[in-house]
């Protein structure tokens, strides 16, 4: 119970800070729309190629938006020493980490609410509840891993380089499984919920691993 109240308080603090500062979301929304527009011109999409290439564009944009969103999760707080102030309480690093990952996942979910309609408008990508569910499930695991590596990278000088190098290889399973599920949905293949179950398994695995590792990454 204490763990949940701490995690929610930390997540609420991060979301409130973003709402008041409006530093990340407007820039990410711009990035997403520009990336989709550029993809539209670069691939010269039509009604036939659109549904086939859209999943790839979706995951590429999502991966890069995630790197920006997660990269900022810990960096500023480390510089201001406000992260240390939270870690020096009895709340425990795992609860603080969970709160920050929750807020980062929520921010990425908001980005997805911009990305998916933008893809429908500019690329003519067919959207379905399965596409939304796939992307949201992938967000959970990606956020857990992304925040863990962001916490690690924030302790180094080359954090902008280190985060992609650490996070992207471990995000590949989400891109492979999520990409296939989205492609099947967009090309009108019969409904198959197995990829969602696999994504859920990944989520559980990576959330547990990240939570266990967070103590060692943060509390040093």
Closest distance between another protein and the C-beta of residue 6, in Å?
A: 6
In terms of DSSP H, where are the helices of the chain?
2-21, 25-43, 49-80, 82-87, 93-123, 129-153, 159-186, 194-218
Among 5, 30, 156, 194, binds another protein (CB under 8 A): 5
- Quick check: 211 binds another protein (CB under 8 A)? no
**Which backbone phi and psi does 47 adopt, to 5 degrees?**
-65, -25
- For another protein, the closer of residues 77 and 112 by Cβ is 77
Question: What distance in Å separates the CA atoms of residue 191 and residue 169, rounded to the nearest whole number?
Answer: 28
Rule CB under 8 A: choose which of 89, 128, 156, 194 binds another protein.
89
44: left (phi over 0), alpha (psi -120 to 50) or beta: left
**Among 42, 85, 189, 204, which residue sits at the site for another protein (rule: CB under 8 A)?**
85
Q: Are 10 and 95 in contact (CB under 8 A)?
A: yes
Q: Rule CB under 8 A: say whether 159 interacts with another protein.
A: no
Contact between 155 and another protein (CB under 8 A)?
no
Q: Can you give the binding site for another protein, defined by CB under 8 A?
A: 2, 5-6, 9-10, 13, 16-17, 20-21, 77, 80-82, 84-86, 88-92, 96, 219-220
């Amino acid at each position: 119970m204490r763990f949940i109240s701490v995690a929610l308080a930390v997540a609420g603090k991060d979301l409130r800070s973003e709402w008041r500062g409006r530093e990340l979301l407007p820039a990410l929304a711009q990035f997403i729309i520009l990336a989709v527009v550029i993809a539209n011109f670069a691939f010269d999409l039509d009604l036939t190629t659109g549904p086939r290439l859209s999943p790839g564009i979706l995951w590429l944009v999502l991966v890069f938006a995630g790197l920006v969103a997660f990269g900022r999760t810990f960096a500023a707080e480390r510089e201001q020493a406000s992260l240390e102030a939270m870690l020096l309480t009895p709340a425990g690093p795992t609860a603080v980490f969970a709160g920050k990952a929750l807020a980062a996942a929520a921010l990425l979910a908001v980005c997805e609410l911009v990305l998916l309609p933008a893809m429908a408008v500019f690329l003519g990508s067919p959207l379905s509840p399965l596409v939304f569910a796939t992307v949201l499930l992938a967000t959970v695991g990606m956020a857990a891993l992304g925040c863990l590596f962001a916490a690690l990278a924030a302790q180094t000088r080359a954090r902008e380089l280190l985060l992609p190098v650490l996070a992207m290889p471990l995000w590949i399973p989400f891109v492979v499984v999520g990409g296939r599920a989205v492609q099947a949905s967009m090309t009108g293949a019969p409904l198959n919920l197995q990829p969602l179950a696999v994504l859920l398994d990944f989520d559980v695995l990576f959330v547990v691993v990240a939570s266990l590792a967070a103590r060692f990454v943060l509390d040093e």
